[in-house]
Amino acid sequence: MIIIFKENASGSEIQGLRQELETSGFRIDDSRGSETHLFGIVGNTRELDERKFMRLPFVERVVRVTPVSKAGNKTREFGKLSYAIIGLGLMGGSYAKALRNLGAKHIIGVDRDAKTLALAKSEGVIDIGITSADATLSQADVIICCIYPEAIVGFIRDNVEYFKADALVTDIAGIKGNLISEVQPLMGPRMEFISGHPMAGKQANGYAVSDAVIFQNSNYIIVPEAGNSEAACTWLEEFARAIGAKHTVRVSPEEHDEIIAFTSDLPHVLAVSLIGSQSYNDKTKYFVAGSFKDGTRVADINPDLWSNLFISNKEKVAQEVDKLIAQLEKWREALRNGDAEAMKELMRTGRDRRKELY
């Protein structure tokens, strides 16, 4: 590793850093040119974090010469790893329970609600519960962020100093946007952020309804970006299957948000719109059977979470609403014209596509 100092770096500052490094067992090759002063650090620098030196006001640049192993090179014996779950709600609690089923040796829960942490610990789902991040996180090999998408970048920025040097960090954010590109630069040289999205959940919220079974036979989306190693992508795919996912797929952040606007965001808009129709009245509940129940199931929604998701993906969701309106207009025209053949064609197309899915 090479540390290049700024032109105005003082001799006392440089000497202080030299003493610190030599005390830690490194040998320093001091090189001075007419305009540049640098240290060549000789020794096992794999555990040194460049960010520590870049925060020093007298350091211009840090160059790592020795390649480091990335966080994705972790064991596939998932029970032997330690995990931290950030946010112990429905999804975080379900991850913790699924990990416990895998025999995870150590699970840390981070949640603002002390009662939730106490309950999870009393049930044996977590080993340690903390209401705010601290050095406890340094015990975790894998960190899973199960908090609102807009909170993830801030959480990592504020607490990455506590992460293990080779931590693998992932998330469950339903919208990716710029999340991944903003998080990647925050990672240490051996850390890795590999984004994911389990297509699993329930209408209800909170730890009380969490359940490891929600991952069974689910789809799990992997969203790699520049900087992710193949080892990390493969690790997350195998981890997803270990907790119950049936299929995994890799897509770009842009593809993820575009497809999710159709398959997840739009159905929630549709369910809320259907039950919000002016036709709803005090007799509606006596005329409800399977189709209405299925069509409105996800209208039992978390407004705080979903308004955030919709706004984060607003242009793509609005485009899907436009496409749905165009489809409904075909129905309106066929109905007004009494055009049975047009309706049959719409239904045949819908039936055939549904069969392709299941």
Q: What is the pLDDT of residues 66-88, one digit of tens each?
A: 555 667 778 899 999 999 999 99
DSSP H or E segment with residue 161 = none
Higher pLDDT pick, 68 / 347: 347
Question: CA angle, 305 as apex, 293 and 96 as ends, to 5°?
Answer: 90
Dihedral angle at the C-alpha atoms of 128, 86, 209, 268, nearest 10 degrees?
A: 180
Tell me: pLDDT of 64 over 90.
Answer: no
Asked if the model's pLDDT at residue 238 lies above 60, the reply is yes
Phi, psi of 333 (to 5 degrees): -65, -45
Cα–Cα separations (whole angstroms), residue 285 to 191, 272, 348: 53, 16, 30
Tell me the pLDDT of the chain averaged across its residues. Answer: 93
